[in-house]
Structure 1
Amino acid sequence: MVYRGIGEMNTDNYSIFNSDTDEIVKNTVLLLIGLSDLYTKEHCIMVSELAARIAQRLGVLPGEIEKIKLAGYLHDIGKQAIPQGFISKPGKLSPQEYELVKTHVQVGVDVLHQLKVSPAVVRMVGEHHERLDGSGYPNCLRGSEISLGGQIIGVADV
């Protein structure tokens, strides 16, 4: 009888039953970010939505748009390793503080690798502060060295 009750249970609120790994990771990451920094959580949601719209306008295929959208949600996960005072500091960061904040990209890449997130999504997260002229970080990539998804996330991350 217990099994019958479970089978009839409304699972609308239990997205884990119908989600793939990336969806579970996304929801977990956003939950954790929101526990420590509601602004960054909302920022990640907005970046994801804007990036998806940009990709759609550019004619990117739906499967790639989903990857870009996921990268938008996850792009700042590495900020969880940075002291909150630096993330929300009013005014300009010192050179040392800025170098510390820049490490959030590699931390995010490392975390997402450990979580077995799609390599394409991890790449976009790793490239979201790269700039076409090579002035970005962490790898000073330029032009076509940056994936389209990385470029889109970089534009949406404003």
Structure 2
Amino acid sequence: MSRILIVDDEKSIRITLCEFLKAENIQADSAEDAATALQMLEKAPYDVVFSDIIMPNSNGIDLLIEIKKRAPSIQVIIMTGEPTVETAIKAVQQGAHDYLPKPINRKMLMKAANHALQVKSLLDQKAALEELNHIYQAGLERLVGQRTTALQNAMQSIIILLSTMTEIRDPYTAGHQRRVGNLSAAIAGKMGMASSTVELIRIIGYIHDIGKIVVPSEILTKPGVLSPLERQIIQEHSQKGYEMLSKVDLPAIIAETVLQHHERCDGSGYPRGLKGSEITMEAQILMVADTVEAMMSHRPYRAALGLDAALNEIEKNSDKLYNPEIVSACKNLFLEGHYNNDDSEHIYYPIGVV
């Protein structure tokens, strides 16, 4: 049974939210302040913590920081009576799963709880797979042949889980990562790259937006124009994705390429403003595929723009934002090879790629 902790100095709120959760067969406990909450977290395993931001002695952000130090996989949702973008930025930057404005009704609570529980479950599965991977590596000398197949399966499972985590958070882009991964692989193949590199680029595409898991769903699915602060939150997904993938037993090029996939060849991208050859070839391919796929697909804030508009965009900015060789390969795929966007899964993890 899932277990959730409610932290709020107002008794009526604690009682009400706990009753909402218990009615959905979720074990719910409560604490009146941060100190009590930390004591309870030491004694029992919780999946999700809902915490008020303003409390006596220690506020919700301080509690969030301490929870993330002790148990990073616990999902923390901040509750606030004064919801602002500044509050959201501060909470997200410290690792909050989401934030909820008060008053909180049953529907709001359960939507946030179910999302957080799904993410916690996926993180637990990922951790188990990573542990299995370490076990396989330890037995390398004795079980080389068996380990290769098992390790490949384990790594492929990790990739699938990471991709699924993002789609749970951002349903509007379901399939986007797979389409970008498949198009990136097709571009790399068109450029004559080795098959192992092609498959690695496909994998990077499948998880390139994993950092969006830390972006509040209200911002991801906002139908209107984003404010500068909201855009800042979304732009942090490259860095957050890099930080997550750096902790996983995957080749370093995967995390680095995820970090760079919004860079641009003229230095106008983010987060580091890299130029030309400072950007990995994998990231240069990914940025073209990401741009084309995004323009061809529907988004909450606009309808699909179509293939012609997408190809015109990369052609117009060839040798400025994008690598001309990659632009040419991408155009040839669609115009001569009659490539169709593919959102099916073709994961083959190339063991030995570094």
The corresponding residue for 2:244 is: 111
Unmatched 5+ stretches in structure 2: 1-148, 292-354
Distance 1:95 1:119 in 2: 31
Per the TM alignment, residue 36 of structure 1 is displaced from its structure 2 partner at its CA by 3.0
Distance 1:151 1:66 in 2: 16
TM-score normalized by structure 2? Answer: 0.39
Write the letter of the residue equivalent to 1:118.
Answer: P
Q: Would you say the 8 A contact 2:165–2:210 is kept in 1?
A: no
Question: Which secondary structure does the structure 1 equivalent of 2:175 belong to?
Answer: helix
Cα 1:142–1:40 change in 2 (3 A) is: same
Q: Does 1:85 align with 2:227?
A: no
Match of 2:268 among 126, 135, 143: 135
Per the TM alignment, residue 84 of structure 1 is displaced from its structure 2 partner at its CA by 1.2
Distance 2:284 2:209 in 1: 15
Greater strand fraction, Structure 1 or Structure 2: 2
Match of 1:122 among 249, 255, 259: 255
Distance 2:200 2:187 in 1: 13
Greater helix fraction, Structure 1 or Structure 2: 1
The 5 A counterparts of 1:35-46 are 35-46=168-179
Per the TM alignment, residue 117 of structure 1 is displaced from its structure 2 partner at its CA by 1.8
Q: Would you say the 8 A contact 2:189–2:198 is kept in 1?
A: yes
Distance 1:37 1:98 in 2: 16
Q: Deviations over 1:11-39 (max 9, x none)?
A: xxxxx957344312211112222333333
The corresponding residue for 1:34 is: 167
Match of 2:277 among 138, 144, 150: 144
Q: Would you say the 8 A contact 1:108–1:125 is kept in 2?
A: yes
The corresponding residue for 1:12 is: none
Distance 2:208 2:170 in 1: 14
Q: CA RMSD in A?
A: 1.7
Question: Identity rate of aligned residues, in percent?
Answer: 36
The corresponding residue for 2:202 is: 69
Q: Does 1:59 align with 2:192?
A: yes
Per the TM alignment, residue 89 of structure 1 is displaced from its structure 2 partner at its CA by 1.6
Per the TM alignment, residue 91 of structure 1 is displaced from its structure 2 partner at its CA by 2.9
Q: Does 1:47 align with 2:180?
A: yes
Where has structure 1 moved over 3 Å in runs of 4 or more?
none
The corresponding residue for 1:5 is: none
Distance 2:249 2:163 in 1: 17
Match of 1:154 among 267, 287, 296: 287
Which has the larger Rg? 2
TM-score normalized by structure 1? Answer: 0.84
Per the TM alignment, residue 124 of structure 1 is displaced from its structure 2 partner at its CA by 1.1
Query: Relative contact order (C-alpha < 8 Å, sep 6+): which is higher?
Result: 1
Distance 1:113 1:21 in 2: 17
